[in-house]
A and B are shown apart, each in its own frame.
Chain A
Amino acid sequence: MIEISQIQKRYGGSRALDGFSLRVEKGELVGLVGPNGAGKTTLIKILSTLIRADSGVARLAGFDVGADPLAVKRVVGYMPDQPGLYQDMRVREFLEFFTEAFHIPSQRRRAVVDQGLAASGLGARAESFVEELSFGMKQRLFLAKTLLHCPQVLLLDEPATGLDPLARVDLRDQLKHLNQQGITILLSSHILADLQEICSRVALIAEGKNQQDSAGNSIIELRDRDASQPRLYEVGVLQDGERAGQLAGAVAGVKVLHAEPARIVVEISGDAARAAEFLRQLVVGGIAVVRFDRPPATLEQRYREAFGEKPR
């Protein structure tokens, strides 16, 4: 649904994008993370037709962003970090204006606006002026505006900036819901916990290029896609961690990564049955297992591996 290949963009002497590539499949919710100035906003602006790339290819729903911006605008919803709203318009008027701006037929406009108001939970505030809304409500209103023309792809640039925790949860739920409805979402954010919860994959970007983590991946898979890939397991034991490590090292498909007196960390290749078999062998071998689980590799941890500890 989104294909970005070797995209480049310069601002004067500095390179904002320097050959970044990414492919997002239909119905995916993919995050985009990187330090400040990595090129996230420039990339999203190019995809939303606001600016032109110097070179490279970007396609959305099969339409070339540079060659056919009008077709792209029809299928894309763009939400910047700060919702630009007309403060002196009423909520309903604001949505009505954008139904016209998106050329929605006049006989459908009222229904589309009502639907947008209902979906955003702003039905009771339809006649309020935008300036009277809280920041979270304004964000919901902007999202409702973004969805008026039923886009197939949503491009969100730091949408949770400035939201309070409850509004953030609300936005996260809305995005999950939209993704479940089949909308492809590319989401740039610094809030890694949010990305971890809702994204299937996260792309790493730095200095306008694909950034690789310590394992050499520029895309972090947050949902298991391939059961044959090795998985990490953490085993809690009663004082005999060293012996547990030796035992584990002898089991086929199990690689010991770390062994402490009360804990070992192993990587097991294969499916869950292989892990169950490993656990059985530990118990049969006389190891007192008190805990056996898969520590999630947090996005924050992976982010630190990719970008280092120092702020940029």
Chain B
Amino acid sequence: MNPMIRKELRQRMRERRGWILPSLYLLTLSAVICFAYYQSATMGARQGWQIGVTLFLTLAYTQLGLLLLMAPIFSAGALTIEKEQRTLPGLLTSLLGPVQIWWGKFAASLMFILLLLVIGTPVLSAVFAFGGVGPWEVGIVAFTTVVILGTISAISLYWSSAFRRSVHATAVSYVTVVLMTVVTLIIFGMAMSRVHAENGWHSIPLKVRAPLYLNPLFFLTSALVPKNQLYPEWITCLGAFVAVAGLCAVLTLRNLRRSGEIS
């Protein structure tokens, strides 16, 4: 096992936020599910599966929203903390290469997010009680969420390698999350107001749709279509997110190789 991963996980679990954030996450998720159940149950006589689907969708988007808020916390400070504590030269002069350092930081951030996803499973099990949702839907939503959060972690790690202070890296990471989640929607909305798409989604020009392929909410939504309709939207989003994550990883490695200059 990469020693960086073990070190990172050990340090994270010793921090107060190591248990505060999962607790808050679980409490919020439970509260939202209870509220969604109450709302859907009081909206009149409904089928069980309809309640199940409503709860599942609420859970999926809430989970993504919460994790989008939490992901930068885990990764934006990962490299800046090494600069602030002056521990980066120790790592760079050891036999750990930049790739191992990056992978250790990235994997540890993602593992913590996976931990949050896993501890949300009991809440998710409530959905199954109502039906309407199968393992495929749960699986594809979980996978999409992990890809989105992996990309956000890679972006935050890049900012962490580019800045010296955690506070700056975290702020810019949140700005990036807002750009991807909100600004792309606004751009799409503005572009849509100038085009006439009478034959549905596929008649919208690609240049108008393009910003949405980097939108986490759109990516998650595209995962909820039937299996045979995953192409082209979900696949395109997957490609776009993986490409952004890959680019960020390459740029982070480049910064790490140069970081002896500023450490």
Which residues in A have some Cβ–Cβ distance to B below 8 Å? 11, 45, 48-51, 70, 73-74, 76, 78, 80, 82-89, 93, 97-98, 100-103, 145, 149
Contacts and interface: CB of A to CB of B under 8 A. Distances in A.
Given A89-B10, A89-B11, A97-B3, A48 B93 contact: yes
A267 to B, nearest CB: 45
Given A86-B85, A97-B6, A97-B7, 7 more contacts: A49-B92, A73-B94, A80-B89, A84-B86, A85-B85, A89-B10, A145-B90
A83 B86 CA distance: 7
B233 to A, nearest CB: 44
A100 B3 contact: yes
B46 interface: no
B14 A88 contact: yes
Contacts of B7: 86, 89, 97
A51 B93 CA distance: 10
B177 to A, nearest CB: 27
Given A86-B85, A88-B11, A100-B3, A73 B90 contact: no
Contacts of B92: 49-50
B91 A80 contact: no
Contacts of B95: 70, 73-74, 101-103, 149
Looking at B87, B93, B95, the one whose CB has the most chain A CB atoms below 10 A away is B93
Interface in B4-22: 6-7, 10-11, 14-15
Nearest to B92: A50
A78 B93 contact: yes
Nearest to B11: A88
Interface in B79-135: 82, 85-96
Nearest to A94: B7
Contacts of A103: 95
B31 to A, nearest CB: 32
A88 B17 CA distance: 14
B189 interface: no
B260 interface: yes
Nearest to B91: A101
- Looking at B6, B87, B92, which has the most chain A CB atoms within 10 Å of its CB? B92
Given A85-B85, A88-B11, A50 B93 contact: yes
Nearest to B2: A100
Contacts of A74: 95
Given A84-B85, A87-B85, A45 B260 contact: yes
B198 interface: no
B263 interface: yes
Nearest to B263: A50
Nearest to A86: B87
Nearest to B262: A51
A102 B93 CA distance: 9
Nearest to B81: A86
Given A97-B3, A97-B7, A100-B3, A84 B94 contact: no
16 contacts: A48-B89, A49-B260, A50-B89, A50-B260, A51-B260, A73-B94, A76-B93, A78-B93, A84-B86, A84-B88, A86-B7, A86-B11, A87-B85, A88-B11, A89-B10, A100-B3
